[in-house]
Structure 1
Amino acid sequence: MKIDLEGKVIVITGAAQGLGAEIARTAAGAGAQALFLTDRNAPAGEAVAQDLAGQGHKAAFFMSDLAEPSAPSAVIDAALARFGRIDCLVNAAGITDRATVADGEVETWDRLYAVNARAPFFLMQGAINDMLRRGAAGAVLNILSMNAHCGAPDLAIYASTKGALATLTRNAANAHLADRIRVNGINVGWCDTPAERKMQAEILGNGDQWLAAAASNLPLGRLLQMDEVARLAVFLLSDAAGLTTGALIDMEQAVVGAPAGI
């Protein structure tokens, strides 16, 4: 089975670091024709694009803050201006913050929903409309979280944003079945990313030893790795995924619904 992205122009959000950057690198290695990267961290995003270009890949970076209502349309317009079309979209950008049902605030709700749900919706709208105008097949991949199933109590608002995106993923997939536009999602479990390292070691105050301690309590003795998520992402974007659409794949060392402790 051949898994590649040859001839495909791919837009990736959250591409300055973490899963977005890893997916960009893996997509480039899989033969993507061009990569349009966006993130609010311009220096880091430019560095990723320059690194890919230095390896002979077509890559461009566009700075955007997806918290801004106008950002999704600006990203789509810039991508079309640079590469002429969008064959695949990866919504990897996301933010998180602690908030329970008892103490969540309107500001936190609005901020998380703006980036985690509103922006992906309008990015999907822009990419899908380009595919429809051209009468072309395409693929969208949304990066979600295992928290979409329920979430920890202190992630109530964050979890609900991912639940919203899960429903939007299925809705868009169903709406565009006959258009040959596939829309899928990955519910990412506990993954070893730069953002998670900062959250655990610095923000939550668990120190540098947190990773070893966390890994020791997991079935496989380690956290999920970014390259594992990126490989699945490339498969779902590729023609090798066939007609797979509306799928939300759990990548976690647990099975939802299984009895605890068994």
Structure 2
Amino acid sequence: MLDFAKIFGLDGRVAIVTGGAQGMGEAIARTLAGAGASVALADIQHEAVKAVADDIAAAGAKARAYRVDMAEEDEIVALVDSARADFGRLDIVVNCAGLQHRNFLEDTSSAFWDTMIDVNLRGPFIATREAVRIMRADGTAGRIINIASNSAFHATAPSLLAYATSKAGVAGLTRSVAMEVAKDRINVNAVCPGNTATPGQLTSTGPAFPPEQIAKFMPPIGRVGRPEDIAAAVLYFASDAASYITGQTLVVDGGQLTC
């Protein structure tokens, strides 16, 4: 019989999860910790991410919080180095931190565009580069999982121009890095959520979606996504069950894109 605890278990492994203070990142961190991983949670909201890390630790897992601005290269480099030093190894990196602010094309300044690209695409690039450096040096068969979006493949709303472009970049980053590091036994994949209820969705700035647009966000499955839906997909890619999968983008959107 199959040993599912072994196939999906992460005992002895160390994971970095960015955006771990709330929403998808929090759910991912809790799920990986529940599967046995030690978790380094990073977020710009330090008090909030510390509270999540403390709660995970109180439940019996190893967890530690790091205050990191994903738009700042030196802070990302320090995060990866610190997590490796603090936990003794690095096996999994989940690039989840991101912004979903909105603007129509004519209202999109270069500064707005740069902020979205810096956090959503440049940040994951730097974290991936630094993680690969450590995994290669340690000889670790690592896992890098990027959180993209179904907006990478389909224009879901006009005001999501910068967001969708950044997430399309994440999908491209995933495929290109996967090809380059496959020889190092490092698997790189992306999870692409659809409409998922998160606190970050509520605090995003920009023009409100009109009612007819909101109606289009409801997928055929009949409900919006939950952070736990995304966390389950991340666990799959992080586990031995996905050891033969790399360079893939898994859409988790209740059928919104494909039906």
Summarize deviations over 1:211-243 as a string: whole Å, max 9, x none: xx8599542321011111111111101111121
- Specify the alignment match of 2:231 in structure 1: 230
Report the equivalent of 1:4.
9
Secondary structure of the residue aligned to 1:95 is coil
C-alpha change, 1:29 and 1:163, in structure 2 (3 Å) is: same
Given candidates 116, 120, 132, the residue that maps to 2:120 is 116
Contact 1:216 1:222 (C-alpha < 8 Å) held by counterparts: no
Rounded to whole Å, the distance in 1 between the matches of 2:181 and 2:133 is: 11
What is residue 86 of structure 1 aligned with on the other side?
90
CA distance in 1, matches of 2:225, 2:217: 13
- Match of 1:249, SS? strand
For 2:185, the equivalent position in structure 1 comes to 180
After superposition, the Cα gap between the structure-2 partners of 1:205 and 1:145, relative to the gap in structure 1 and judged at 3 Å, is: closer
Residue pair 1:215, 1:221 contacting (<8 A) in 2 also: no
Note the 1:36-115 alignment, pairs <5 A: 36-115=40-119
Residue 148 of structure 2 aligns to a residue whose secondary structure is: strand
Query: Residue 159 of structure 2: SS of its match in structure 1?
Result: coil
Residue by residue over 1:89-112, the C-alpha shift from the partner in whole angstroms, topping out at 9 and shown as x without a partner, is 000000121123333110111101
Matching residue of 1:26: 31
Please tell me whether residue 133 in structure 1 is matched to residue 134 in structure 2: no
CA distance in 2, matches of 1:217, 1:11: 31
Residues 79 and 253 of structure 1, relative CA distance in 2, 3 Å threshold: same
Runs of 5+ in structure 2 lacking a partner? none
**Alpha-carbon deviation of 1:257?**
6.3
**In structure 2, C-alpha distance between the alignment counterparts of 1:56 and 1:186, rounded to whole Å:** 28
Q: Deviations over 1:59-98 (max 9, x none)?
A: 1101011122322101112112211221000000001211
Which residue, 148, 151, 158 being the options, matches 2:152?
A: 148
Identity %: 37
Deviations 1:112-137 (A, max 9, x none): 11111111001001111111001221
Q: Would the alpha carbon gap of residues 246 and 216 (structure 1) be closer, same or farther in structure 2, given more than 3 Å must change? A: closer
- The one-letter code of the counterpart of 1:251 is V
Output the amino acid matched with 2:123.
A
Aligned residue in 2 for 1:192 = 197
Structure-2 separation of matches of 1:129 and 1:140: 12
What TM-score, normalized by structure 1, do the two folds share? 0.89
Alignment RMSD: 2.2
State the distance in 1 between where 2:34 and 2:177 align: 28
Q: Deviations over 1:157-204 (max 9, x none)?
A: 11111111110100010001111100000111001112224459x983
> Between Structure 1 and Structure 2, how many residues are aligned?
251
Contact kept? 1:112, 1:158, Cα under 8 Å = yes
Q: Which moved more, 1:215-224 or 1:137-146?
A: 215-224
What TM-score, normalized by structure 2, do the two folds share? Answer: 0.90
Separation (CA, whole Å) in 1 of partners of 2:220 and 2:209: 24
CA distance in 2, matches of 1:122, 1:195: 22
Measured after TM superposition, the shift of residue 141 of structure 1 is: 0.3
Q: Secondary structure at the match of 2:167?
A: helix
Structure 2: how far apart are the matches of 1:40 and 1:216? Answer: 29
Structure 1 residue ranges, 4+ long, deviating more than 6 angstroms after superposition: none
